[in-house]
Amino acid sequence: MDELAILTLFSSFSFLFFGFGCFFSPRMTLEFIRYGLNKQERWLTGVLQLVGSMGLLFGLFFNPLLCLISSTGLFLLMLLGLRVRIKIRDSVLQSSPALIYALINLYLAIQYAAILFK
């Protein structure tokens, strides 16, 4: 398995976990309250994470265009998450997961674009 596939699976399974957490984790509910976001925004975030996760997974096996779209969407979602973290003045350590996942998905988007648009 190559690096691109490993990172795609890592991102996919991470967002699968985080997406379900938005619906079922009391800790995640408290985090969204701390972010100043309401229940609908938490649910929307969860849905977007799950859709992105499934897009990466299905795209890896069936269509790289789906990976490009999904990784771009997850990159943008994590940029917005980073913006929220900065707005509420979280520390660099607290903000680092959003930044790391944004960078991973940006890398994935660039790699899948390169595959598609050779």
Closest-CA residue to 49 (of 73, 31, 79, 65): 73
Q: Return d(Cα 102, Cα 8) in angstroms, integer.
A: 13
Cβ–Cβ under 8 Å, residues 78 and 98: yes
Q: Which residue has the tokens 């991470």?
A: 14
* Residue-wise pLDDT tens digits, 31-87: 999 999 999 999 999 999 999 999 999 999 999 999 999 999 999 999 999 999 999
* Residue-wise pLDDT tens digits, 56-70: 999 999 999 999 999
Q: Given this model, what pLDDT does residue 1 score?
A: 82
